[in-house]
Amino acid sequence: MLADSQIKQFYSEGYTIVRDVIPQTKLPEYREAYERMVEKVRAHPGREKYNTRLIQGNDKVCWGCDFLLHPDLYEPAFTDYLNNRKLLTSLGSILGDDLRISGLKAIWSPVRANYDLGWHRDGPKDIYSEDGTQAYIQFNTALYHDESFRLVPGSHLRPLTEEEDTKYRSVEDITNQLVCMLEPGDAMFMHAAVLHRGKASSSTKRRTLHYIIASSDYEVGTKRLNQFKGWYDEMRLDEKLEPAAKKLFDNFFAWQGKTFDDHYYPGLNYKN
């Protein structure tokens, strides 16, 4: 469960860091599973098969993928993390106890190029939340020391400033930007509307699990998630997951198909 100060920070600054979510004893297992996954993604250049994230202008240098449940990529460690009681109770402190899965992804440092993403919000440029509430949480969990993530605290509460609007999608420094420092096993919870960007050197070993958990009644998603059911059934995960993790998927499959809208975000405001 999050401390009151962490909950307040999430609402007021758009992020909070939960230390030591992954026990140190499990890190070797998770790292080995992660490397097997990365090598499989790298063996299939291009975006389509695993919804791979690629360096812009280079269709062979990847820095992440969106389909950790794909039977080719799946590792038990990827769902074992969802059994983590500290993780689920921390998420529940903000989202409530009835949760569902909304994404299992991975982000890493590329081997042959640096990546330097421009400032953005995850969603329309003009979304914000006046009270800082959010019906889903994106979180990066570091398997190694990580200082790749930059954000502007509090930017999720308001429209972009003139400077932020001008530098949107650029890699220029922005007033009040903050670098988030994570140690192995730490997780950073992020509000989708906070202005942020990623930066990583090929000489740095960045390995993060990038998951999305939503309140079970949050009915916005993407049609790509329809594939979850087939993969889940093919691997018979319902027989392998512990009850808490299984409920995340049960809630997703019960919700799935009610509405898919990648452009409207309930509970958030728009400048225009």
**Which residue ranges make up each domain of the chain?**
4-259
> Residue 139: what pLDDT?
97
Q: Is the pLDDT of residue 22 over 50?
A: yes
Q: Is the pLDDT of residue 55 over 80?
A: no
Q: Is the pLDDT of residue 104 over 90?
A: yes
Antiparallel, parallel or unpaired: β 196-200 and 187-190? unpaired
> Residue 57: what pLDDT?
61
User: Which CATH number does 4-259 carry?
Assistant: 2.60.120.620
- Band (pLDDT 50/70/90 cuts) for residue 221 is low
> Are 56 and 43 in contact, with CB atoms under 8 Å apart?
no
Torsion sign over Cα 7, 12, 15, 20 = negative
Tens-place pLDDT, residues 110-130:
887 788 889 999 988 999 999
* Torsion, Cα of 53, 102, 228, 87 (10° steps): 100
- In angstroms, the Cα distances linking 244 to 82, 137, 141, 223 are 8, 17, 19, 25
Sequence-separated (6 or more) residues with CB below 8 Å from residue 257: 226
Q: What is the mean pLDDT of residues 75-79?
A: 96
Percent helix, strand, coil in the chain, to 5, is 30, 25, 45
Across the chain, what does the average pLDDT equal? 89
> Residue 272: what pLDDT?
30
Tens-place pLDDT, residues 223-233:
667 788 899 99
Tens-place pLDDT, residues 126-166:
999 999 998 999 999 999 999 999 999 999 999 999 999 99
- CA 205/CA 270 separation, integer angstroms: 37
